[in-house]
Amino acid sequence: MKPQMKSMLACIGFAWTVAQAANAQSVGSTSVRDGWVTVAPSEFQGAINNPLKGFRDYKKNGYGLLKRQYIKWNDIEVCADDSVERIIAYTNKITSAKGRRFEDLNVKLVPRVYLDWNGSSGRQYWPADLHTFDYDSPAFQQRLRRLVEKLGQAWDEDPRIFAVQMGLIGYFGEHHNPAPTAEQRRLLAEAFQKAFKHKPVLVRHNDPEFMQAGFGIYYDTFANISREPPGGPKDQFPWQATHVYRDTWKRAPIEGEVEYNWQKQRESAKPTETFGRTPDETMTVPAYRRYMTDKIRRYHASYLGWISGYNASNPEVLAGAAELQKAFGYRFVLDTVSYPLAVQPGGKLTVKLSVRNTGSAPFYLDWPVAVALLDPATKKPVWSAPLSGVDIRKWLPGEDWDSAAFAYRRPAVPYHDEGRATLPKGIKPGRYLLALAILDRQGGMMPSARFAIENYFRGGWHPLGFIGVGEAPGEAALKNVKFDSPAFDDSLHYKVPEKLLAVKTPPVPQVKAVTPWTPDPNIELINPWRYWTLRPSNNSLEKLTLADGPGASHATRVTGDFGENFSMNYTFAHRAKLDPGRYRFVFSVRGTPGQSVEFGLADGLRRASKEARIPLTEQWQEHTIEFEIKTKFQDETTLCFRLPRNVKGSFDLADTRLKMVK
């Protein structure tokens, strides 16, 4: 059979399956005993475009109700005296898609504030009153804490925000080049915990300070085989999640990016053995989908980006996306619901639930399950109220994924909850439809997330059976009731307080701008505020900023277990290269007596030269080294201090100066 014919048949088959699912009507079973109605609704077998999970994108005709947004620091804070209103006004600006507001589309935002895109000159976004690259000064630490406080004031109660990526430090806000120091990690953990009581906080790495704070993860190379255990690096998320922090997902979301450039450009990615080279390949090849589903299940991922770039207009691709959508995040299957056949006006209404989470992750926000009495004719709520005693965050999925069996070794268990609400005294007696919905608490208590059952009415309510107010109805079971599909419901939305939407961009406060630094090859080529980076970052080593450098200057200290092949590195900018010529490098060092460091040059990650071995002493010692660059580097020029190997100690560096020698 020709490939074109196979593709056509697949599309027809998918369209038929969707049509059958939409037309299928099953009310499950209903029984009445001792005045109680018990309904066992049929599970909805398709995928559901539920909020807070799935693909990190908005697609009008596909799966995806989340948007991740990079935000430049100086777009939301120009200087220290700037107000929270600038953050709120900027949030108003970025919370729309395809000409419509997020709240009208039921879309949520995951923001990440950053300072430096990738080290390239001109791609830094520091406030006007801080020096670019000044990660180490006390002034920066104070501003870091204050900005997080402002972010909490702006976002913690904003219904448009689902979670917050920590960002702030390093390339892309991904905590490398540089990595946050231990002191900064403690500062950030404390500040974000204090600022965000209602929103999950996500970080890039499993640093102890962040894991102890209960933060989640955004991982930028999700499912890449070279990062996977047992051979993958032990400092990366897959190994850490498997061997150290196994319950991170129970407290906050796991999300990230599927790095397709890596798949295309690196042989180690083994694209044909993993998940292909493009999102559409992942969706259409069964083996690729199985590989990706395996990782989603294993790491309890709630949602992912980049893979969200699939083509939703292709039915075959959309069918594959539906398969992954069912695996992502939460999926609540209502096994049974019990309620009294009749209740009196002003009386207590008790609803008993048995529910399983057959997805991969919990539901992380405190959204209530609500009960409603619907008018049988209009199917609209006459009365509704949240059920006290029900906490959907406790409905956990299975655990301990078995790749070979393609199932959790500990399957999802049924959760038995009993919720209660009180009817108003003035409610009109009669027969009603009893229905349930999951409400967006901050978004105006509007129906939003759906259960995976066939019983569904467009607008967010799941009808289960008839109930009488005042006296029992003649029949409890639903008969001849046409359900809608819960898969896609574009009527769902939430509300944003008018006070937020009314906030306008405030005037720019008076700025005490700092003098920008520009290099002069005859005087100084090293930016005094640009950081020296510890590579690789490692929890066994701690990088500190000291105030007792020579001549009252600041110093950088690396202390701990040096291990193998660690170095302190300085790059002038992303892919910046020193011109051929002769240079004089002056610096002061001290450290553990008897140890030494090697100074040399690197061309990107490749060692280019070894210039000198520097002995360490207890007191500061100034050194001068002259070196010559004869040919231009291919990638970028890096100054390197290679640290002692396989010993414990300390190395302090201060007062670095570099100029071209005529």
pLDDT tens for 200-230 read 999 999 999 999 999 999 999 999 999 999 9
DSSP state of 57: S
Q: 496 and 632 in one domain?
A: no
504 belongs to a structural domain? yes
Q: 101 and 160 in one domain?
A: yes
21 belongs to a structural domain? no
Q: 198 and 58 in one domain?
A: yes
545: CATH: 2.60.120.260
Strand, coil or helix: 543: strand
373 belongs to a structural domain? yes
269 belongs to a structural domain? no
User: Could you read off the pLDDT of 45-104 as tens digits, one per residue?
Assistant: 999 999 999 999 999 999 999 999 999 999 999 999 999 999 999 999 999 998 999 999
Q: 382 and 369 in one domain?
A: yes
Among 573, 563, 554, 578, smallest CA distance to 652 is for 554
9 pLDDT tier (thresholds 50, 70, 90) = very low
Instruction: Answer whether 0.85 is exceeded by the pTM.
Output: yes
Sign of torsion over alpha carbons 190, 196, 198, 202: negative
Q: 429 and 340 in one domain?
A: yes
**Residue 37 near residue 312 (C-beta atoms within 8 A):** no
Q: 369 and 470 in one domain?
A: yes
386 belongs to a structural domain? yes
Q: Taking residues 438-460, what's their average pLDDT? A: 98
Q: What percent of the chain has pLDDT over 70?
A: 95
Q: 204 and 70 in one domain?
A: yes
- HSE on the CB side for 490, CA within 13 Å? 7
329 pLDDT tier (thresholds 50, 70, 90) = very high
The residue with tokens 């008076």 is 510
Q: 346 and 200 in one domain?
A: no
| pLDDT at residue 22 greater than cutoff 50 | no
Of 46-50, 96-100, 142-146, 456-460, the one with minimum mean pLDDT is 96-100
CA distance linking residue 380 with residue 236, whole number of Å: 50
Q: 154 and 39 in one domain?
A: no
- Kindly report each contact of residues 102-105 with a partner whose C-beta sits within 8 Å and lies 24 or more positions away, as own/partner: 102/67, 102/160, 103/159, 103/160, 103/443, 103/493, 103/494, 103/495, 103/496, 104/493, 105/58, 105/65, 105/490, 105/493
9 belongs to a structural domain? no
226 belongs to a structural domain? no
Q: 613 and 493 in one domain?
A: no
539 pLDDT tier (thresholds 50, 70, 90) = low
158 pLDDT tier (thresholds 50, 70, 90) = very high
- 197 contact partners, CB below 8 Å, separation of at least 6: 156
- 616 vs 8, more confident: 616
Q: Taking residues 14-19, what's their average pLDDT? A: 38
238 belongs to a structural domain? no
User: Could you read off the pLDDT of 375-410 as tens digits, one per residue?
Assistant: 999 999 999 999 999 999 999 999 999 999 999 999
Per the prediction, the chain carries an average pLDDT of 93
Rounded alpha-carbon distances, angstroms, from residue 532 to 555, 556, 651: 10, 8, 13
Q: 385 and 455 in one domain?
A: yes
Q: How many domains does the chain have?
A: 3
SS3 annotation, 231-271: CCCCCCHHHHHHHCCCCHHHHCCEEEECCHHHHHHCHHHCH
Structure tokens at 461: 């309510």
Q: 577 and 510 in one domain?
A: no
- According to the model, what pLDDT value does residue 378 have? 96
| pLDDT at residue 167 greater than cutoff 90 | yes
| pLDDT at residue 13 greater than cutoff 50 | no
Among 153, 215, 218, smallest CA distance to 189 is for 215
Structure tokens at 38: 């018990």
SS3 annotation, 371-418: EEEECCCCCCEEEEEECECCCHHHCCCCEEEECCCCEEEECCCCEEEE
- Tabulate helix, strand, coil % of the chain (nearest 5): 25, 30, 45
DSSP state of 345: T
Q: Taking residues 538-562, what's their average pLDDT? A: 83
- Domain range for residue 655? 533-661
**Residue 326 near residue 357 (C-beta atoms within 8 A):** no
Give the orientation angle of helix 138-155 with respect to helix 84-94, to 10 degrees: 60
CA distance linking residue 86 with residue 63, whole number of Å: 32
